[in-house]
Amino acid sequence: MADRTTFSLIWIIFLLTATACAYGSDFPSHHLHLHDTTWAALGCWTDGIGGTRTLSAATYTDTVNMTIKSCINFCSTGSNANVYAGVEYAQECYCGNYFSSGTTNVSSSDCDMACTGNAGEFCGAGNRLYIFGSGTQSPASPILVPSIGNWSLLGCYNNSATRALSYRTDVTGSVTVESCTTACYNAGYPYAGMKYPDECYCGLTIENNNSGPTPNTDCDMTCAGNLSEYCGGSYQLSMYHYIQAITTPPVVNSVNPSTVSPVKSGLPGNWTYGGCYVDNANGHVLGNEFDSSSMTVESCIANCVGQKFTIAAIEYSTQCFCGDYLINGATEAADSDCNMACGGSATEACGGPNRLSVYSSNGNTTILPVPVVQKTSLPGQWVYEGCLAEPSTGVRIFQYENEWTTNNTVDACLNQCAAFGYPVTGLEYGVQCFCGDVSDITAAGGTYVSDSQCNMACSGDPIHLCGAGNRLSTYYWNGTMNMWKTPANTGYYEFLIGGLVVPLIATVGINNKVTFLEKHGTSEYNNSTGAYELDLSLVNNYRLAWREMHVKTDVFCSGSIILPDKGGRQINLGGWSLSSTFGVRLYTPDGSPGVNGTNGWEENVNELTLQRGRWYPTAMMMPNGSILVVGGESGSNASPQPSLEILPAPHGGDTVITLDYLRRTDPYNLYPFLLVLPSGRFFIGYYNEARILDPVTFDTVTVLPNMPGAVNNFLAGRSYPMEGSAVLLPQYAPYTDPIEVLICGGSTIGAAIALDNCISIAPEVPNATWTLERMPSKRVMPCITTLPDGTYMIMNGAHQGVAGFGLAKDPNLSAILYDPSQPIGRRISILNNTIVARLYHSEATLLPDGRVLVSGSDSQTYYPNKTAVYPEEMRIEVYIPPYLNQGLAQPKFTIIETDWALGGQYSITVTLFQGTRSTMRVSLVAASSSTHGNIMSGGRILFPAFSCSGSTCTITAPPNAYVCPPGWHQLFILDGPTPSHSAWVRIGGDPAKLGNWPDYPDFTRPGV
C-alpha cells in the first residue's frame, strides 16, 4: 500500500472541532452559554405524568426559533417571571415556580432533541423537559385551598361542554380563591369556581350533575393573583360552596320585564331580534364568547359582525356569543325569561340565567339538533368503534394530531387518516383529529367507556360528536388498509469487511470495484486520505482489499455521477468550503478484480472549476451528453446557491441560470432530485414541491402538485435536510407507458418526526397527482437501491430527526422491499434487520453480483459526556436479497459487444439453470453514484426487448436518449427470480465528447 499521509496535531484538533453540516455549527449540547446570569442546568425531567405538567405556569411554542436562551428570557421577564424554565420537544418552553408531584430526574440522554432555533443545543424530548433554575428560592408549592371563611372546597369540576356554574363575574384585582369567593358572595351566589386561572364563575346550584368531582390533579393551574393557590385548569373549576345561608339576593341587573326589553329597532344593517332561547339544556348552543361589564346588544352585534358571524346572542347581562346557527337542540323560551338588563344599558334585555337574547343578520335563526355519534354515511370502509378514554398517565394514545378549530368533522378526519394509511381515527375535544393504529391503543393502555362520555360537538359539524376532554370518538377501517408482506424468505445482512473511511459517497466503477469518498477527518484513522477503492474479490484479505487514493480538496457533501466516455470516469462536483465548493474531480477506473489499478483522482482548481461554488449540489447526465448541476449552498452553512449550470461550461462567459423556486425554498431544497423523462424534459423535486423543466431553456413547463407530507403536517419535506430518497420506476419496452417517480421517507420541520410513507407520480400524464403508500415504519435518510429484477431495496435511516451531524436518533434497522409490479398498497415486504445503525452519510449500492453493499454512518451523536450514542461507522455490510437466498444457481451469459448504439441489436449467449428462455428477463441498471440517499442516475432500470434462438439471445437497445440518457449500464439476465452477475455496457455513446475533456495535460482523457 502507498505511503500514508500523517496529519499534524493542529489539523487533528481542527477536525475534531470542525463545524457540522447544514443545521448547526456545533454538536447539540445541554450546556448553557449565558453571560451575567445565575441560571443553571438542573438536568432532564419527566413531564406529563398523570396528565400533569411538571412546570405549569406560563408557556409558549416556537417551531422555528426556540433556544435555551429564549426560553429562559421568557421565564424571567415580567408576569412570566418564575424560578424554573424548561424546554421540551425541540420547540416548547414551560415556566414554573415548583415541580409537580410525580416528576422524576432522568438521564440527560433522554433529552436528546435539538432546539428548533439552535441545532447545537438540546431542547428536551417527548415528555422530557430539560430544566434550568434561576438560583432564587422557590415559593411554597401551590395548593387547592381547603377553605376560606365559610367557603369550603368541594373539589375539581368539569366546566367544558355544559357549564357547572354559568354566571361569570368580575373580581376586584386579579383572580384568587379569596377574590372569587368574595365576588360570588357579594353577588348573592353560594357556589364559586375559579378556572384557567383568571376566570371566576358563580351559581345558585351546580347545574351539570355530571361535571364532577374529577381528580384534584385536573385543577393544576395557579391563580393569576396568587401563585400559591390553584385556580382550576383549562376546562376545570376549583369549586367552593358557602356552607351558611346567603341572605343577599343574587345579582341580576333587572328582573322586571316592564323595565327591560329586546332591541327591535335601530340595529345595524338587516339585524333583527330572533327571540329568547334556552341555553345549556344539552350544552351551550353558541360559542365564541366575549364578556364585558358594559355589554349592550349593539356592542355584541358589532363583535359578531367583526368575526363575520350571522348570529349574536347575549346572556347573563354581560356575556356575548357568536355563531351562524344555534346547536345542541336549542329551544325557544318566553321573551319574559330574558329579563336581565345589559351591563351597559339598563333598558335593554340581555338574556338571563341560561337564557339568550338572540339576534340575526338575515332574519333567520337556524337551529341544529342535539349532536349524535355519526354511525352512518361514513366514507370508505370506516365503522364506529366507541368512545375511547385516554390513560390517566397523560400519555397520548395516537401520535398524529390535527387541530381544526373551525372545520373538524368526522368525514374530514376519516378521509385524512385513510389518505395517509392509518386504519384508526380518534376525534377529541371537538377540534382534534388523531390518526394511528389499533396497536397504539393497546400500547398506551386505552380503554373504551360509555358513549355518553364523548359529548362534544365537532367544530365543523355541530350535529355530530367529536369526543370530549380525554375522550376520543373512535373509528376503525373495516378491512386491510396496508398489506405489508412478511415473506418466509427475507434475505439477510452479512458483514463484508472492515473499512478505512466513513464514506459519504459510494460508487461502483466499470472495473467492478467500489470507490469511497469521505469528509476529511471522519475516519478513525488520523492518517486517512479520505479516498479509497475496495476490490470486492479480495474482501477476505483486509490488507489487500483496499487501495489508497487521494483527493486535493474536501468532498464533504458533494455530488457524483458516471460519465458516458470510454473510460466510465467518475466525476465529483462541489464540496465543503472555499475552493472545494468549486471542485471538479475526475477518476478513470482501472485495474481488474485482484489487480490494483494505478489511476487516482485528478483535480486542479486553477484549471477546471464550477462557475459557482456549491455545497450539496445534484448532478445529472442530460440526453445531449452534457452535465447539469443544480442547487446547493455557496459554502458550509452559507448563502444559498439557487441556480443551475452546465458542464463543460458553454462558451460566452457566465451561463448560470437562477431558479427563483430554489431561492424561495432554501434551506429545505438541497440535493434536489433530478430525473430525465421520456419526453426529454426534466423532473426536479425539491423540499415538498416538484415541476417539469424544458431541457433547452430550463423554464418551467408544468408545476406539479405539492408532495404530500405527514398526515398532520403538510410542510414536511423530502429533500435534504428532511432527506428522503427518489428513483424512477422501471421502464419496459416499447417504453410507451408513462414513467413514474417514487420518493420514500423524509421528515418534518421543527419536531423532525420522520415520514412513514412513499409517494409516486407519473409526472407527464394530464392532471398528474401523487399516490401515497404507507411504509411499515418511519424513515428519514433512507437509501433506495434499484435491484435487477425491478424491485427496490429501502434501508438505512432513522425514525426521528433530520440529516446532519447529531440531528437524528432511533435508527431504523429494518430493510423493506418495494415491488412496483404489485397493486398499490400491497407493494411492500418487510425483510430482515441489521444491528448496525446507518444514519447520516450512509449508502446502499447495487453490486455486480446482485447483492447490495451497505456502508457508512456519520451521525456524530453524543451524550453530554461526549461519548458516542452512535459511532462513526466503518464496517461494510452486504444485504443478500431474497432472490439470492433460495439456493438457486445464478444464470450466466457471455457478451462480446459492450458499446451499444441507441436502437441497435446485440447478442449474448446465455446459460440457465432453472427456467427457460421463454421466462427469462433482461434488465439494464444505469451506473450510479449515491450520496445522502440521492441516486444521481435516478436509479434508472430498463427492461429491453429481446428474442432468443437456442442459447443465443438478441437484445434491442433502448430507442433514444430520453428513455436512456447516454451512459454505462449493468446488464443482467434473470432466470425466474434469480439474477446473473452483470456485465457493463455503454449505451448511446458520448454525444458531448466528454472523453476529450478537459483539455489539460494533468487530466486523463479516455476518449469518446
The C-alpha angle 583, 588, 592, rounded to 5 degrees, equals 145
Query: How buried is 1001 (Cβ within 10 angstroms: 0-12 exposed, 13-18 middle, 19+ buried)?
Result: exposed
Q: How confident is the model at residue 256 (pLDDT cuts 50, 70, 90)?
A: low
Each residue's pLDDT tens digit, 182-222:
999 998 999 999 987 788 999 888 877 777 888 888 888 88
Strand partners, 769: none
Is the pLDDT score of 19 beyond 50? no
Mean predicted confidence (pLDDT) in 85-110: 85
How far apart (Å, rounded) are the C-alpha atoms in residues 833 and 997? 45
pLDDT (0 to 100) of residue 4: 31
pLDDT (0 to 100) of residue 252: 65
pLDDT (0 to 100) of residue 257: 57
Is the pLDDT score of 876 beyond 90? yes
pLDDT (0 to 100) of residue 33: 41
Q: How confident is the model at residue 338 (pLDDT cuts 50, 70, 90)?
A: very high
Is the pLDDT score of 943 beyond 90? yes
Mean predicted confidence (pLDDT) in 478-497: 97
Strands 505-508 and 514-517 turn out to be: antiparallel
Mean predicted confidence (pLDDT) in 861-867: 71
How far apart (Å, rounded) are the C-alpha atoms in residues 844 and 517? 14
- Choice among 90-94, 439-443, 972-976 with the minimum mean pLDDT: 90-94
C-alpha cell at 284: 351551550
Q: From 56, 125, 32, 5, select the one nearest 527 (Cα to Cα).
A: 5
How far apart (Å, rounded) are the C-alpha atoms in residues 633 and 650? 22
How far apart (Å, rounded) are the C-alpha atoms in residues 1006 and 1008? 7
Locate all alpha helices (DSSP H) within 746-861, ordered by sequence.
Answer: none
List Cβ neighbours of 304 (8 Å cut-off, separation of 6 or more). Answer: 288, 310, 311, 312, 320, 322
Mean predicted confidence (pLDDT) in 426-437: 96
How far apart (Å, rounded) are the C-alpha atoms in residues 482 and 830? 12
- Evaluate whether 797 touches 754 at the Cβ level (below 8 Å): yes
Q: How confident is the model at residue 173 (pLDDT cuts 50, 70, 90)?
A: confident
The C-alpha angle 724, 725, 727, rounded to 5 degrees, equals 150
How far apart (Å, rounded) are the C-alpha atoms in residues 58 and 93? 8
Mean predicted confidence (pLDDT) in 89-114: 83
How far apart (Å, rounded) are the C-alpha atoms in residues 128 and 113? 10
Average predicted confidence (pLDDT) for the chain:
91
Q: From 355, 223, 374, select the one nearest 284 (Cα to Cα).
A: 355
Mean predicted confidence (pLDDT) in 544-552: 96
pLDDT (0 to 100) of residue 161: 57
Is the pLDDT score of 28 beyond 70? no
Is the pLDDT score of 535 beyond 60? yes
3-state secondary structure of 177: helix
pLDDT (0 to 100) of residue 274: 96
Pick the residue with more confidence: 160 or 272? 272
Q: How confident is the model at residue 898 (pLDDT cuts 50, 70, 90)?
A: very high
- Evaluate whether 398 touches 426 at the Cβ level (below 8 Å): yes
The CA-atom distances, in angstroms, between 935 and each of 202, 507, 560, 932 are 67, 10, 9, 8
Is the pLDDT score of 1005 beyond 80? yes
pLDDT (0 to 100) of residue 56: 81
Is the pLDDT score of 23 beyond 70? no
Phi/psi region, residue 180 (left: phi>0; alpha: psi -120 to 50; beta: rest), is alpha
Mean predicted confidence (pLDDT) in 398-414: 94
- Evaluate whether 871 touches 502 at the Cβ level (below 8 Å): no
pTM higher than the cut 0.95 = no
Is the pLDDT score of 614 beyond 70? yes
pLDDT (0 to 100) of residue 11: 27
Is the pLDDT score of 15 beyond 70? no
Q: How confident is the model at residue 34 (pLDDT cuts 50, 70, 90)?
A: very low
The residue type of 546 is W
How far apart (Å, rounded) are the C-alpha atoms in residues 359 and 262? 10
3-state secondary structure of 662: helix
Q: From 630, 721, 640, select the one nearest 675 (Cα to Cα).
A: 630
pLDDT (0 to 100) of residue 141: 78
How far apart (Å, rounded) are the C-alpha atoms in residues 260 and 244? 33
How far apart (Å, rounded) are the C-alpha atoms in residues 303 and 291? 11
Is the pLDDT score of 334 beyond 90? yes
Each residue's pLDDT tens digit, 631-678:
999 988 789 999 999 999 998 889 999 999 999 999 999 999 999 999
3-state secondary structure of 844: strand
How far apart (Å, rounded) are the C-alpha atoms in residues 752 and 108? 20
Q: From 235, 283, 322, 211, select the one nearest 465 (Cα to Cα).
A: 283
Query: How buried is 548 (Cβ within 10 angstroms: 0-12 exposed, 13-18 middle, 19+ buried)?
Result: middle
How far apart (Å, rounded) are the C-alpha atoms in residues 289 and 162? 14
pLDDT (0 to 100) of residue 392: 79
- Choice among 157-161, 258-262, 383-387, 623-627 with the minimum mean pLDDT: 157-161
Strand partners, 689: 686
Mean predicted confidence (pLDDT) in 262-288: 92
- Choice among 87-101, 339-353, 833-847 with the minimum mean pLDDT: 87-101
Is the pLDDT score of 380 beyond 90? yes
As a whole-number percent, the residues of the chain with pLDDT over 90 amount to 73
Q: Cell match 466503477: residue?
A: 509
C-alpha cell at 878: 452486504
Mean predicted confidence (pLDDT) in 489-514: 96
3-state secondary structure of 204: coil
Residue 661, phi then psi, degrees to nearest 5: -70, -25
Residue 416, phi then psi, degrees to nearest 5: -65, -45
- Evaluate whether 46 touches 52 at the Cβ level (below 8 Å): no
- Evaluate whether 156 touches 216 at the Cβ level (below 8 Å): yes
Q: Cell match 440531528: residue?
A: 807
pLDDT (0 to 100) of residue 857: 94
Mean predicted confidence (pLDDT) in 574-603: 96
Q: From 384, 395, 370, 385, select the one nearest 456 (Cα to Cα).
A: 370
Q: From 922, 927, 809, select the one nearest 870 (Cα to Cα).
A: 809
Residues across the chain: 1008
Pick the residue with more confidence: 815 or 577? 815
How far apart (Å, rounded) are the C-alpha atoms in residues 132 and 124? 11
- Evaluate whether 975 touches 910 at the Cβ level (below 8 Å): no
pLDDT (0 to 100) of residue 353: 83
How far apart (Å, rounded) are the C-alpha atoms in residues 815 and 794? 6
Beta-carbon neighbour count of residue 4 at 10 Å? 12
Is the pLDDT score of 968 beyond 50? yes
Each residue's pLDDT tens digit, 675-705:
999 999 999 999 999 999 999 999 999 999 9
